[in-house]
Amino acid sequence: MSASAVFVLDLKGKVLICRNYKGDVDMAEIDNFLPLLMTQEEEGLTSPIMSHGNVHFLWIKHSNLYLVATTNKNSNASLVYAFLYKVVEVFTEYFTELEEESIQDNFVVVYELLDELMDFGFPQTTDSKILQEYITQEGTKLEVAKTKVPTTVTNAVSWRSEGIKYKKNEVFIDVIESINLLVNANGSVMSSDIVGTVKLKTMLSGMPELRLGLNDRALFALTGRDKGKTVTMEDVKFHQCVRLSRFESDRTISFIPPDGESELMSYRINTHVKPLIWIESVIEKFSHSRVEIMVKAKGQFKKQSVANNVEVRVPVPSDADSPKFKTSTGHAKYVPEKNLAVWTIKSFPGGKEFLMRASFGLPSVENDEMEGKPPITVNFEIPYFTVSGIQVRYMKIIEKSGYQALPWVRYITQSGDYQLRSNF
């Protein structure tokens, strides 16, 4: 079972718009939502699911809005939350920013979307590209032809329209991996994993079928091949276009792609990751009058690779002032509102080392308040490189007209939650 009704509220709990799908929950029950939430916040026990009598509230907060689904059944909570986040995604596609003002300015469109997104409490058409074919933001004259529902909605392939044509048939594949890493003050890696996504930009005519081959260890084991490097993917999630039964039986990723940009799949690789950018830091305090910080950054990846837009964020005491910086490359600046020194390096080749020295004045009266020790965080992007070694082995494009199409592949490694604790 799914939701009985969906509400969009402002921060004061006022209903901006709502849609009653099943009629089995009194719509006035929503008046209990904000008092329940405030009580929980006062007690420090905020929960994503709250109950009043036999009515359950499943809610998320986005910008200055609450999106709330109500139900009096033992509903599938993960389905309801997936739907609420999809509503945010669709509204953002339509209105660029989802906030109170955009709901009020587009009241009619929002109501039409709520009508199409869910039917009798079950998610229905949630693809924004398909919805945009027949729910438009412009006022249109009533024409007989316009009242016809696009065949895409009733198709087996609801994510792709028929009759798409391109002069040049191409598909662009982006394999993007984010590294999550936590290093303690002694230099030991406490936790690390890789979160990857495969994104497509499809510019193909007709209804092509695509087959994607990766160096997946499970696939190589099934086929009896054991050549070259393979990867073990966990928590694999696919776009709805992928034939799951085919993947489960022989690990083939087979699908009819959506037109334009889409995320085909995501995965996680739970492995020990060597820090790609290593940070060493030393801090010296001089009789409560000034503090000096030295940070050394080293690129621990292949020499032929280059990290772009590297940003090293170093925490500094909240009462610091009079910043002075000296860097061997790039530039550094003080961000007082965040108590950070930010060192930016536009291009960081593998195997290189760079230094940054910072000096700050401190007030003569020492701050008695104990401050925490935030970690140093690093942001970066390394093109043409994947830390896991995942590879696109092939992309086959089959279409009944038999046209030739070009697949293009790009690999990117970037920082996710990349933290190195220091002795500051």
Report the percent of the chain where pLDDT is more than 90: 67
Query: Using CA atoms, how far apart are residues 18 and 7, in angstroms rounded to an integer?
Result: 4
Instruction: Please write the tens of the pLDDT for every residue from 222-243.
Output: 666 655 678 888 999 999 999 9
The residue behind tokens 């007690």 is 43
Burial 158-177 (b: 16+ CB within 10 A, else e): bbbbeeeeeeebebebbbbb
Q: Residue 111: what are its φ and ψ, rounded to 5°? A: -65, -40
Q: What percent of the chain has pLDDT over 70?
A: 90
**Cβ 183 vs Cβ 189: under 8 Å:** yes
Decide: 204 and 171 in contact? Cβ < 8 Å. yes
| Torsion angle of the four alpha carbons 92, 97, 100, 106, in this order, in degrees rounded to the nearest 10 | -60
Asked if residue 307 has pLDDT above 90, the reply is yes
Confidence of residue 142 (pLDDT cuts 50, 70, 90): very low
Residues 187 and 198: their CA atoms lie apart, in Å, by 32
**Average confidence (pLDDT) over 183-190:** 91
Assigned token pair, 258: 């959506």
Q: What is the pLDDT of residues 102-119, one digit of tens each?
A: 999 999 999 999 999 999
Could you tell me if 308 and 382 are in contact, meaning their C-beta atoms sit under 8 angstroms apart?
A: yes
Summarize the confidence of residues 333-339 as an average pLDDT.
92
| pLDDT at site 227 | 59
Pick from 53, 62, 50: which is nearest to 9 by CA? 62
**Mean pLDDT, rounded, of the chain:** 89
* Stretch 328-344: mean pLDDT: 94
Confidence category of residue 320, pLDDT binned at 50, 70, 90: confident
Mean pLDDT of 88-111: 92
Q: Is 4 helix (H, G, I), strand (E, B) or coil?
A: coil
Read off the pLDDT of residues 375-423 as tens digits, 9 standing for 90 and up.
Answer: 999 999 999 999 999 999 999 999 989 899 989 999 999 999 999 998 7
- Helix, strand, coil content of the chain in percent (nearest 5): 20, 45, 35
Domains of the chain: 5-132 (3.30.450.60), 170-273+387-420 (2.60.40.1170), 277-383 (2.60.40.1170)
